[in-house]
Structure formats: C-alpha cells, structure tokens
Amino acid sequence: MAIPDGFIDEIKARIRPSELIGRTVALKRQGREFAGLSPFKKERTPSFFVNDDKGFYHCFASQEHGDIFTWLQKTQGLSFMEAVEALAQEAGLDAPKSEPADPEREARRQRTLDWNEAAQDWFARQLASPAGSTARAYLESRGLKAADFARFELGFAPDSRRGLTQALMQKGASVRDLADAGLVIEPDDGGEAYDRFRGRITFAIRDPRGRMVAFGARALSKEQRAKYLNSPETALFHKGSTLYRYPEARAAASDPKSGASGLIVAEGYMDVIAFARAGMGHAVAPLGTALTENQMALLWRAGGEPVICLDGDGAGQRAAALAAERALPLIAPGKTLRFVFLPAGADPDDLLRDKGARALREAVAQPRPLIDVLWERELNAGPLDDPDRRAAFRKRLRELTARIADPDMRAEYRAEFDARLNTLFARTPRSTGRDDRRPGRFAPPAAPGKDVVNSARKPESERAAPMARQLLAGAIEYPAIAAAEAETLAELPFGPLDSLRDAVLDACLDPAFEPDEGLATRLAARGFSGALARLSADRAAARAGLGGEDAGADDRLEAWRRLSASYMEQVAFVIRKAEDRARIEDAFNSGDPDAFKSCLAALRRGKTR
C-alpha cells in the first residue's frame, strides 16, 4: 500500500499530539510544552513532555520518543499502517488503499464483514429473548451477569435449522454471501442451506483491526458431537492468524496501569473472559489449535513477554513444550514466551469462581521462563543413569539451542544449559580403597581433619546435594514455608548456595515482606538471577516432594519439615562417618593389630563416641 506524498504531514497538521496523548495521560501546560507523569515508567514527578509545535513527545524517564504515529504503535500495539488508518479516520481523511485487483472480490469481502456484524446483532438479541433462557442460565451459573453479555459480545444461536439464514435473507443477504461468511452450510447434494451454529452460545471473533470475521460457539447439549465449534476458514478468517479478543487485549496491555509485559494466552473463550472479569483484560486465546508462529507474532506486537497459561496436567505440559519448541527459531532479545501452570484440573474460570480474582492474579504472577519448559521436558524424557543416556540428553539440548536464529539468544541458552548440566552431573571422585604408594596393600581413607569434616557438611556431597537443593527451591517456591521455618533454614548447610539462603532469610526478616508477594523477584533484584536459574532444575522435584501442585499449604509445610529433618540426619551421618574414619586410621597407624580390631568391633557395635 503506497502512501501519497504529503499524506502523513496532512494528518500531523490536523491532530495535535497533546490532544491525542492527553486522552490517556494527564497533561499540564508548562510554557510552550505539556508535562505529565511517564506512561512508560512509574514515577512521582513529571518527566514526560509533549510539544505540539515540534510534533513529538519525549520521556526522560524511559527515553521513549516519537510522534503521534509512534504513540499509537507504542501504546496500542498497532503496526505503522494500522496507526495511519486510525489517525486518518480521526483526521477525517480517507486512508490510502491499494487498487483492488478484483473489485468484485473486495465487494464480497465487505459484504462478509457486514453480514457477520448483522449475525452478531441477531445472536445477541436471541440471547436476550425468551428463547435464550437456557443459555442465560448457563452463563449465569458461570458467574456472568447481563452486563457481561454485551461487554464480551456473547450471543445465542437457537436450535433452529434456518433461523439465522431466514433472518439475514430478509435483510437482503444471499446464500452465497452467508456461505462466504461461514454462517451457513451448503449440502453437497444441492439441498437447502442451513445455519452452521445451532443450540450454542456464540462468541464474537474480531481480527486485529477490530473487524467481525468469525464466531466461536459452545454447545449447550451434551448430545452435540463437538463441544466447541468455530467458523470455517474464509477469505477474512484464518484460525492460525487470529486470537480471540486480541484487539481488546492489546488495548488493555497498552495501559501503563496494567503492569503487563505482554499478553496472557489462555486455552479457551471462558478462560479469557475470566481473566478480564478479574481485572486482567490483556488475555487472549488461540482458536482450538496449538499456538502458531503467526499468533506468536501477534503476541509480540503487544509486548515482548506473553505468558502462556495452561493446566498443570500432562496435556498442559505437552502443549507448553510444543509452544516452546515452535517459538525457539523466533525468539530474540525482548521477544520470548513465559509459562504458568495451574493446578491440574483447574482452569482460570474455576479459580475465579472458587477462590476469587486475587487467587487468579496470584496464579499468573510468577511465570516461568521458556528455557525451564524445554529443560524439564528433556530432563523428564527418560532416565539419566548411564553415560549413553546422559550423552543423548546433552545432544538433545544442543539440538534445541541450534534452532535459535538470534546469535545472542543462542549463546545465552547454550551457556545456561551448560551451567545446568554441570550442576546436574556434578560428581565427586571415588576412592579405590588402595594405597597408590604401596601397591596391593590396604590403606584406610585419609584422616578427615577439619577440612574434610567441613566438606562433609556441604550439601555438594553426592549424597546430600539433591535434597538440599530441593529444600531451598521449595522454600523459594512457597515463601510461606521460608517465613515459618526461618530458624530451621538458618541451621541447614547449603554450601555454595548459602548466600542464596541468607538472602531468603533477609527477605523474611524484612517487616515489609508479605509471603504472598513471592521471593523470586526480590532475590533477582539483589543479583541472584544466576543462582535462581541454576536452581530452577530442582523446582519440579521440590514441588513433587512437597505433595505436588494440589497439596494444601499446611501439607506442604509438614512435608518440608520432614524433608529438612531427613537432610539433617544425612549430614550428621556423613560427619560421624568422617570422625569414625579418623579413629580407624589412628588405630591402624598405631601398629597394634589388637587395637585396630578392637576399634572396628566397637564401631560395629555402635559404641564409638
């Protein structure tokens, strides 16, 4: 699409930046400029300025700078051409259009849009009519009110074979028009066309430009073969390039008050509605398919870190892994995916109805990075108990890393995988039980001394390391445990992770700390991002060891206490063993066989003190 010379300047001449920006930012005149609080960064004193004479805005807090076109691109996630179209309409100008190769085709596309709008109006009226009583009752049972029906553009398609068809044909639609829009089905045998959606609640689907292009529909009867049904592919609707409620979500995410770094991707229509009702209007959903590359591109236009929200069951894990793998070739600095796994069997709508909006907001407050999903999928693919399997594990991770096109991201992922592998496969040398200086002669292990006893206290010993890491990962994952068991946590030895443990304790001792707010953000802000990343491989084991996702807070706390007691017993055993080894060596070096035998006998009887 070519933009005529002078068209951009004409739009700028008709729209003052202060008027456009002043709709969302409170501006006050300061001389020849307007000032206000930054819409891009939280602040207390104004550092955001708009200059109508020069036609730009500048934010000293975030260094954002631009004109009215940039403003719409930054705050509403529009492309440049979408911003041109929106501002042209506001300025009273006709947006430039390409000469249609086929005028009739363009006319048909416009009729499709018009009849979809007409269908939505008819569905909405049916929902409000006596015929829609069952549909209204169902929606009300899900917590929706009458005002929500209009807000979310819900409707009802009666269980009538030609109700919509006849209503729109009376308004001038042809069967061809309705078939182009995907609203009717034409039988192969040439019979009479009939309504595609019957006996279903309808959900309006709009494209990124806000045009009505399709419908989703949920069956009210269990006898329906498909619970959910979408419009077919049409000239204007492509499932893999559309997201449910994308225009509304993009606008919500652009609001600085939302605090969103990207959209939330839920699994279904009602989940998206649940998020919006909980105050998170920046949620969308794919249309019954796995997340596609085109849909990811839409997500990144509205923010660089969209959050994929899935059930924590096996299906949710597989869907997450598929999305993560599909995103790999596309990720770049400032453009990735994050993931949230809800308790198995629960969805956002369930959480909202059962526990309220706060519970739903908390559930998505600490998303996990894309690399975690990939790591855990490969880690759980099979045992790693021999060199062949470990080598295969390393190879799979290298193959995933190689798929990342961006060189900086590829290097970071490779470094992170290597760090996790080094931690996971760390081994301590094993004694052969022989004295290399005197071949063939038995030699007792070296005397422990202070250094050996201290090393025995470290959880990096082969026996204690996994349990120690799980304890610390569990305390960070569930801050209420860290707060309740701070004294025990302070006594546990964590070796190289002692500094991370100390940071956890510092946070718990802060009077302003609330366990519900989470620890990861605080720890990352104090420079522990690397330690947290290395510990992330133990999060799944920690959750499982504390009872799984469905465990209650009290059950998790008791499980953590049992695990910590077991860990302390292991550490004490290692220390005792080191001390016993010292006694054996002393008896051996004494040259008295009887003393040596007596020492061994005493140890076997457990009488050594």
CATH for 14: 3.90.580.10
Residues 233, 252: one domain?
A: no
Residues 477, 579: one domain?
A: yes
Judge whether 135 lies within some domain. yes
Judge whether 155 lies within some domain. yes
Judge whether 608 lies within some domain. no
Q: Which pTM does this prediction carry? A: 0.61
Q: What is the pLDDT of residues 249-303, one digit of tens each?
A: 988 887 767 777 789 999 889 999 999 999 999 999 998 778 888 899 889 888 8
What pLDDT sits at residue 400?
93
Judge whether 534 lies within some domain. yes
What pLDDT sits at residue 353?
84
Of 91, 114, 147, which marks where a domain is finished? 91
Q: What is the pLDDT of residues 375-414, one digit of tens each?
A: 988 988 888 888 899 899 999 999 999 999 999 999 999 9
| pLDDT tier for residue 604 given thresholds of 50, 70 and 90 | low
Residue 284, strand partner residues: 265
Q: What is the pLDDT of residues 152-175, one digit of tens each?
A: 999 999 999 999 999 999 999 999
Farthest-apart Cα atoms in the chain, separation: 112
- Tell me the C-alpha distance between 37 and 254, whole Å: 16
Of 205, 237, 269, which marks where a domain is finished? 237
What pLDDT sits at residue 591?
66
Residues 168, 229: one domain?
A: yes
Residues 217, 257: one domain?
A: no
Residues 169, 55: one domain?
A: no
Q: What is the pLDDT of residues 432-475, one digit of tens each?
A: 343 433 333 333 333 333 333 333 333 333 334 677 888 888 88
Give one word for 231, left, alpha or beta, with left for phi > 0 and alpha for psi -120 to 50: beta
Residues 226, 139: one domain?
A: yes
Q: What is the pLDDT of residues 330-353, one digit of tens each?
A: 999 889 999 988 876 678 888 888
| pLDDT tier for residue 208 given thresholds of 50, 70 and 90 | confident
CATH for 178: 3.90.980.10
Contacts from 585-591 at CB under 8 Å and sequence distance 24+?
Answer: 585/444, 585/445, 585/446, 585/447, 586/447, 588/444
Residues 251, 351: one domain?
A: yes
Q: What is the pLDDT of residues 299-312, one digit of tens each?
A: 988 888 999 998 76
DSSP at 174: -
Letter string b/e over residues 255-288, b meaning 16 or more CB atoms within 10 A of that residue's CB: eeeeebebbbbbbbbbbbbbbbbbebbbbbbbbe
Q: What is the pLDDT of residues 79-131, one digit of tens each?
A: 788 888 888 888 888 777 655 556 777 888 899 999 999 999 999 999 999 99
HSE at residue 556, side-chain half, CA atoms within 13 A, is 23
Q: What is the pLDDT of residues 529-572, one digit of tens each?
A: 777 777 777 777 777 778 777 778 888 888 888 888 877 776 66
Domain with 409, as residue range(s), is 239-425
Residues 233, 278: one domain?
A: no
Residues 276, 416: one domain?
A: yes
As for how many domains the chain has, the answer is 4
HSE at residue 33, side-chain half, CA atoms within 13 A, is 14
Residues 397, 482: one domain?
A: no
Judge whether 251 lies within some domain. yes
What pLDDT sits at residue 438?
36
What pLDDT sits at residue 361?
86
Judge whether 409 lies within some domain. yes
Give the length of the chain: 609
Answer yes or no: is pLDDT of 233 > 80. yes
Average pLDDT over the chain reads 82
What is the secondary structure of 279-304 as a DSSP string? T---EEB-SSSPPPHHHHHHHHHT-S
Of 237, 258, 293, which marks where a domain is finished? 237
Judge whether 441 lies within some domain. no
Q: Is residue 504 within a helix (H) or strand (E), and if so which, with residue range?
A: helix 498-509
Answer yes or no: is pLDDT of 31 > 90. no
Judge whether 111 lies within some domain. yes
Residues 218, 116: one domain?
A: yes
Residues 224, 257: one domain?
A: no
Q: What is the pLDDT of residues 464-510, one digit of tens each?
A: 467 788 888 888 888 888 888 887 887 777 777 778 888 888 787 77
CB 587 within 8 A of CB 595: yes
What is the secondary structure of 318-370 as a DSSP string? HHHHHHHHHHGGG-BTTB--EEEEEPTT--HHHHHHHH-HHHHHHHTSSPEEH
CATH for 371: 3.40.1360.10
